[in-house]
A and B are shown apart, each in its own frame.
Chain A
Amino acid sequence: MTLLLVGLGLGLAGAIAGAILPVRVRVLGTAVCSSGACVMTFGAATRVLATGHAVTLHSAAVLPLTGIDLRLDPLGALFIATTAGVGLAASCYGVGYAEHALRSRTATAMFPLFLTSLLLVPATSSVATFLVAWELMALTSMLLLLVEHRHRAAARDAFQWYASMTHIGAAAILIGLVLLATNAGGQTFTDIRTHAATLSPALRSIAFLLVLIGFASKAGAVPLHVWLPRAHPEAPSPVSALMSGAMVNLGIYGIIRVSGELLGGGFLWWWLVVIALGVLSALYGALHATASSDLKRLLAYSTVDNIGLVLIGVGAAGALLVTGHRSLAALAMLAALFHLVNHSAFKGCLFLGAGAIERATGTRDLDRLGGLTRRLPFTTVLFAVGAFSISALPGFNGFASEWLLLESLLHGFAAHGAATLVALLAGVAALALTGGLTAAAFVKAIGIGFLGQPRSDGAANAHEVTPSMLAGMALLATPCLVIGVAPGLLATALDRASGVALGTSSATPLRAGLGLGLPGIGSAIEPMLLVAAGLAAMLFTFGVVRLVARRSVRRAEAWGCGRELQTARMEYTATSFAEPLGRVFADVLRPDHDIEVTHVAESRYFAQAIHYQTRADDGIERAVYRPVISLVAVWGAFASRAQNGSVHRYLAYGFVALVIVLVALA
């Protein structure tokens, strides 16, 4: 606990340092403070995960009336450790990135504060402390989103979406938790946990739905995801990495903590709703990721997709627990948490990589990149590690967790009840389809973005980014590889965390050495062996080719049907790569095409210019949110007519109100 407090204190110190230090030292100062905060809290969290014993702290000092309650148990510790890992990488990366942006006083002060709030949320153990930390996280992330608003008008738009969605979510969580706290007779999580069984089913369900709305919107689950593909791309890259790698996790944390742990599982339909949200998010996110040509938008949609997979796992765990399959439930929960941890590592790495590319080339539009392998060799390798992980290639961490998730869903078919079965089947189908779509999206990101010839001056003149940025990416790429080769290393920690989540002690049917095995099911993976076999096969092939093939190599131009003028403009672009998928899934993606042909004045047979524009807007945003927004706009116009700035009218309002009051009182 001391370590945790020292870590949080360091984070706050970083915020103060960022606010008061002169510009030359403040970037480094805040980076040192936030790195220290991450290292300390990581130490505290790993100690709790290693021993399995929770530590608690109550202090009446900080918050008036309630005081603060902190409790670090294995579930929270897992999230803190993950956040600390991403935070350390982002802080390190931020030093190099600050030459570009994120060096203003607001930014340097807000970044450590945001990090501290992210580290604080999973450690809180009362409604009041939780809500304060949650709100701090929301506010600081909003301010960080606005850092680059002078250069990018889209950041302001994203801010509005994020601010409204996050506050609607926070309000829902507030009402839900306060409802629970007042009826349970105490505002600490312990009070709620002990009295949860005595609460009426209707009250529990209402509270569940409210917190689900709040947490699902923070996690970016469809249909509450609309802010995510706007805010994550527009934020500065270290902040994007923290948002996608740590903040969305806390939405999942909230769902697990409140509905799983505090409310003790509840009813089957809760978890079917969660699975439905997960399936929807996974498919919708993956489809939009394949259709996006903005690199960071692609990553943001792929976050929606991965959070969907995690939600499927969490929902399956809850459903299996309610139907009485304790060990299968523990396995599903473990798989979900495992995927969440892995997602933080690779998505953090990918967002940092996207930031490095934006920094080096001045654009993040895949259609304008290309030819980066030679100019940004290290960034390319690190980005590729992230991309291979997210595509779940064997030997990378995404493979291990998606395998476990699939196993847990498939063996969950033993559960009773048609509804559970259908939900699990849908989950398996979603997992399979998103696996393919994600691979397509990242083939596009690497193949179009990095290979080939540069398609813009920025890409042609790119230079490798600074060592600190590379180090930040490497910090997150390393766990991708290590966990990918030896997933068994995390098994104990994940087992303890999922035990807390389901209110059981370690009951997972998991045998862990370096690989993972499921003795009850008779299935196992040893990624180490897979990697060894793969490497051996590659070496063998390489050797044979070297022996057999002719030494002389003739390099010729790429075959372009013999055309005389062959430039980089004729390359395959991200848009053209995604076009067939956009056609197949036109009902979901609803791509918009505009073709405008200007003819020369003399003859309509000759075109002077052709403008082609294509967009894949968010269908849910258009169908659900736009009508609401226009309604609010109408209401706003009405209100602004009443409040038109005329002092005379305001005086009249006061007078009329006074008259009414007097008449009413008389």
Chain B
Amino acid sequence: MRRRSVLRSVFTRAVTEELPRPVATRQQPRFKGSLQLRHVDVGSCNGCELEIASAFGPHYDAGRFGARLVASPRHADGLLVTGVVTKNMAGPLQKTLEATPEPRVVIACGDCAVNGGIFAGAYGIEADLDALVDIDVTIPGCPPHPTAITEALRGLTGR
């Protein structure tokens, strides 16, 4: 289907999708217009990473709504957490949270981060994410669709 649409775009006009709609979050957009995120993989299968990459890629382009991935929590307004919290990553997660200046937002991206997903209760897992940190926004899905990620981010940036 993808290939067809690309082919079609060569001969007809550009393929577009409808804009993802911003979803209402539990809190009012505190990072209005701009949101810098540090992505933390605490034990993901990398499915979510693919979708995040796609969400920030040229097609869905979450960047146009003011969201950006940054390299250091020192530059970030919040964390974008994927995966279940494994024993090895519990410490680094705490350190990353420590290093993020306040006010900050924590986004749980994907079922594993939201409630453990299919790995819930497995032996290598420290605890559920919400037991360790305060989650502000959840993006369910295994993996969540780029549209879902973009929608959640639009809810935060308000654009």
Contact = CB atoms under 8 A, between A and B. Distances in A.
A445 to B, nearest CB: 26
Contacts of B17: none
- Say whether chain A's binding surface is mostly helix, strand, loop, or mixed: loop
Contact of A559 (B40, B73, B91, B93): B73
Nearest to A550: B102
A556 interface: yes
B74 A562 contact: no
A536 B34 CA distance: 34
Contacts of A641: none
Interface in A546-577: 554, 556-557, 559-564
Interface string A23-34: 000000000000
A564 to B, nearest CB: 5
B62 to A, nearest CB: 24
Most buried by B among A560, A561, A562, A563: A562
A562 B102 contact: no
Nearest to A565: B91
Interface in B83-103: 91-93, 95-96, 98-99, 102
Bin the interface of chain B by size. Answer: 10 to 19
Contacts of A557: 95, 98-99
B74 A559 contact: yes
Contacts of B98: 556-557
Nearest to A556: B98
Interface string B32-46: 000000001000000
B72 interface: yes
Contacts of A559: 72-74, 99
A556 B102 contact: no
A560 B93 CA distance: 12
Interface string B52-80: 00000000000000000000111000000
A460 to B, nearest CB: 23
Nearest to A564: B91
Contacts of A563: 92, 95
A559 B70 CA distance: 14
Contacts of A554: 102
Contacts of B95: 557, 560, 562-564
Interface in B74-131: 74, 91-93, 95-96, 98-99, 102
A397 to B, nearest CB: 37
B72 A562 contact: no
Contacts of A556: 98-99
A563 B93 CA distance: 10
Contacts of A560: 95
A483 to B, nearest CB: 41
B80 to A, nearest CB: 14
B133 to A, nearest CB: 14
A556 B73 CA distance: 12
A561 B98 CA distance: 12
Most buried by A among B92, B95, B98: B95
B72 to A, nearest CB: 6
Contacts of B93: 562
10 contacts: A556-B98, A556-B99, A557-B95, A557-B98, A559-B72, A559-B74, A559-B99, A562-B96, A564-B92, A564-B95
In the A-B complex, the 6 residue pairs with the closest CB atoms: A562-B92, A562-B95, A559-B99, A556-B98, A562-B96, A564-B91
Interface of B: 40, 72-74, 91-93, 95-96, 98-99, 102
Interface of A: 554, 556-557, 559-564
Given A557-B95, A563-B95, A564-B91, 8 more contacts: A557-B98, A557-B99, A559-B73, A560-B95, A562-B40, A562-B92, A562-B96, A564-B92
